Structure 1
Amino acid sequence: MTYGTGRDTPSSAALLEARGIGVRFGGVRALDEVSLVVRAGEICGLIGPNGAGKTTLFDVLSGIRRPERGRVLLDGVDITRRSPVWRARHGVRRTFQRQQLFGQLTVEDNLVVAQEWRRGAGRAVTAARRARAAEVLRACDLGPLAGTCAGVLPVGRARLAELARALADPPRLLLLDEPASGMSAEERERLAAVIRRLAAEEGCAVLLVEHHVSFVMDLCARVVVLDLGRVLAEGPAEAVRADPAVRAAYLGAGGMRSPS
């Protein structure tokens, strides 16, 4: 079911568009005619039960997996066959369910490494990269941990550090796969503030997969629900949350729960 857009979106033009995406694993249809749009400056939630196809869709959008059917467009240009590296160089960033930090590097160096795909060397370039790293770490409230080895960070801070690394080279589209997993309530508030600022001030489009229902509903103007590889519902967060079909498919007949 599709509802009206509700709250105004920052731009009517689609930055990211998936059209009729289909993926099959053997005899299992993981994604079936999945379509969605994310606009510049928009925070869109993607929710659904385990096995709904959320991470598979992220794999398609980030270029890790090529779909059997359908297309992925960035700024209206078909990028379905473009590599993850090409997409990253054109502003597509992603985090993963399992943390992917360079554990033996400091938090600051993780952010510096994320900028090294750009050409350039020398002291001035290195200084500029470290200045950008420091700026992002301050924005994520991680400044005091800049010199800490990333491998020893507690889970919540490691999640924030992974987000910071994704922001080190400014993104246009950010795909966040369960970024609040393992976070305390205070850390989730900090994460939400960073995401809101990123969308509002920098115009970044954000597509968020998350099992913390209240976090998604509070943060996202629009929510897409996947179930068994299909789009079950799409629209304003309040309308989606009240949908009986979403309640039944996502959280059972007992209704919506907010994981702690």
Structure 2
Amino acid sequence: MREREHVLRAEGIGVRFGGIRALDGVGLGVRRGEVCGLIGPNGAGKTTLFDVLSGIRGPDRGRVLLGGRDVTRRSPVWRARHGMRRTFQRQQLFGQLTVADNLVVAQEWRGGGGGFAADLLAAPTRRAHEAGRRARAAAVLRSCGLDALAGQYAGALPVGQARMVELARAVADPPAVLLLDEPASGMTAEERRQLSAVVRHLADDEGCAVLLVEHNVAFVMELCARVVVLDLGRVLAHGTPAEVRADPRVRDAYLGTPPGDDAR
């Protein structure tokens, strides 16, 4: 697979924390319209890899490519401006804003300043932009099945709904690459089905490249076309869900069950 065919690619990523090797030569790629799962035991390096991919942490070695361009030293904001979005294990919603306003705010980062006088002169344009952002927020909430929550304060939502709002906020400004860190955590079975449908829509219909970390292995195996397994900072295995399930190294290190069982 040639480099240009990957929207996001990591090559030889290494990260150390003192004497601990958190990542050791990790490489993976995610293509347009693909949902790829990243699994492994606690401490395998999954979140550290997400931090490197999103620009929060620089690697000690290796490189990250976005759309074929080396972005290893680029900031998280630069990567966001070029189509990368991310959610986090710990919820990051603006709790004192409504659900709709969370999505509006997610689109405002592209705007510039100009001061009070410029705001007055540009008021009609600003109103038009505001209307456009609110229309986009309403459309995304509908597509995520969240339109009934638009006026509720985000801080009052139960965990599962809050996770879905985080996903909606991440795609309010359409992404090319979406990194989801444990998106199904705290969700009911019905909420996981809704999450899966939204992620499939993003990949299949909007061409988004999706990489997700998730401990619910059954969810990953059902949703993802390809799975990468990390263990002790290295790629232990990668392939289709069936190939990963059948790999004895994966069963020994993580799944602990015969192939075909739903490991959690």
TM-score range, shorter chain: over 0.9
Shift of 1:241: 1.0
RMSD over aligned Cα, in angstroms?
1.6
Tell me how far apart the structure 2 counterparts of residues 212 and 70 of structure 1 sit (CA, whole Å). Answer: 29
Please give the secondary structure, in 2, of the residue aligned with 1:148.
coil
Aligned to 2:44: 52
Rounded to whole Å, the distance in 2 between the matches of 1:209 and 1:68 is 22
Following superposition of structure 1 onto structure 2, how do residues 98-177 of structure 1 map, counting pairs within 5 Å? Answer: 98-119=90-111, 122-177=126-181
| Structure-1 residue corresponding to 2:201 | 197
Please, which moves more after superposition, 115-124 or 103-112? 115-124
SS at match of 2:108: coil
**How many angstroms does 1:254 deviate by?**
7.0
Give the match for residue 116 of structure 2.
none
Contact 1:173-1:206 within 8 A present in 2 as well: yes
Q: Deviations over 1:20-75 (max 9, x none)?
A: 00000011000000000100000000000000000000000000000000000011
> Which aligned runs of 4 or more in structure 1 are off by greater than 4 angstroms?
253-257
Superposition deviation, residue 251 in structure 1: 3.1
Q: Give the drift of 1:12.
A: 7.6
Say which one has the larger Rg. Answer: 2
Q: For 1:18, give the aligned amino acid.
A: A
Residues 91, 173 of structure 1: 8 Å contact kept: yes
Q: Which has the higher helix share?
A: 2
Partner of 1:78: 70
Deviates more, 1:179-188 or 1:247-256: 247-256
Instruction: Out of 30-39 and 250-259, give the one that drifted further.
Output: 250-259
Assess if the C-alpha contact under 8 Å between 1:251 and 1:257 holds in 2: no
Which residue does 2:8 correspond to in 1?
16
> Are 2:250 and 1:258 aligned?
no
- Any stretches of 5+ residues in structure 1 without a counterpart? 6-10
Aligned to 2:118: none
Q: Aligned residues: percent identity?
A: 74
- 2:252 pairs with one of 226, 229, 248: 248
Asked if the contact 1:12–1:39 (Cα under 8 Å) also holds between the matched residues in 2, the reply is no
Equivalent of 2:60 in 56, 68, 84: 68
Residue of structure 1 equivalent to 2:115: none
Say whether residues 1:91 and 2:83 are aligned partners. Answer: yes
**Distance (Å, rounded) in 2 between the aligned partners of 1:254 and 1:29:** 30
Unaligned 5+ segments in structure 2 are 113-124
Aligned length: 250
